[in-house]
């Protein structure tokens, strides 16, 4: 019986540690990302605006509803964000020729530069974060994180 209680306590502590690791890692990544992307290309942009630029894509013209779905936000929320990014010169809007009601968004040259800087940051961050892991540790981490993400994606 004592072994059962000890096992339950150990399991509870491990889950508390995992909760702290997941939450802490997420928050650390956001802080590092905000600091790293605070440069001449992204000056005046919030991290949310940078992620909106990422959701638009490099060489694409996407309907607003597609971008909203990528971000998991409403069309009204995206419309407000896009209006700000148009004013700042990072995104441009156009109409779909076959159906003028459909608004397409794409990146300007300035927006593409931000996207490239963001992608470079993520590549460097992953390279550095995984540098001390063996190939097997990296594989196990990827498999475990894929399962955790699937859980959260199913509830998002």
CATH code for the domain of 149: 1.10.10.10
Asked, for residue 8, whether it belongs to a domain, the answer is no
How many structural domains are present in the chain? 1
Residue 94 and residue 64 in contact, taking contact as beta carbons nearer than 8 Å:
no
Asked, for residue 26, whether it belongs to a domain, the answer is no
Asked, for residue 48, whether it belongs to a domain, the answer is yes
Asked, for residue 60, whether it belongs to a domain, the answer is yes
- Tell me if the pTM is above 0.85: no
Asked, for residue 100, whether it belongs to a domain, the answer is yes
- Overall average pLDDT of the 121-144 stretch: 95
Q: What is the DSSP letter of 90?
A: S
Structural domain boundaries enclosing 150: 37-155
pLDDT single digits (tens) 119-129: 998 999 999 99
What is residue 73's three-state secondary structure?
coil
Asked, for residue 31, whether it belongs to a domain, the answer is no
């Amino acid at each position: 019986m004592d072994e059962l209680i000890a096992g339950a306590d150990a399991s509870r502590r491990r889950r508390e540690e995992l909760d702290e690791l997941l939450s802490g890692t997420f928050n650390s990544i956001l802080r590092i990302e905000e600091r790293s992307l605070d440069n001449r290309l992204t000056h005046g942009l919030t991290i949310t605006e940078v992620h909106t630029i990422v959701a638009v894509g490099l060489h694409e013209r996407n309907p607003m509803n597609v971008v909203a779905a990528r971000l998991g936000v409403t069309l009204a929320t995206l419309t407000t964000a896009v209006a700000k990014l148009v004013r700042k010169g990072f995104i441009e809007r156009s109409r779909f020729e076959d159906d003028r009601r459909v608004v397409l968004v794409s990146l300007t040259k300035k927006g593409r530069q931000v996207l490239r800087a963001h992608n470079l940051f993520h590549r460097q961050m992953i390279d550095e974060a995984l540098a001390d892991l063996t190939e097997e540790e990296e594989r196990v981490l990827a498999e475990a994180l894929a399962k955790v993400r699937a859980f959260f994606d199913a509830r998002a």
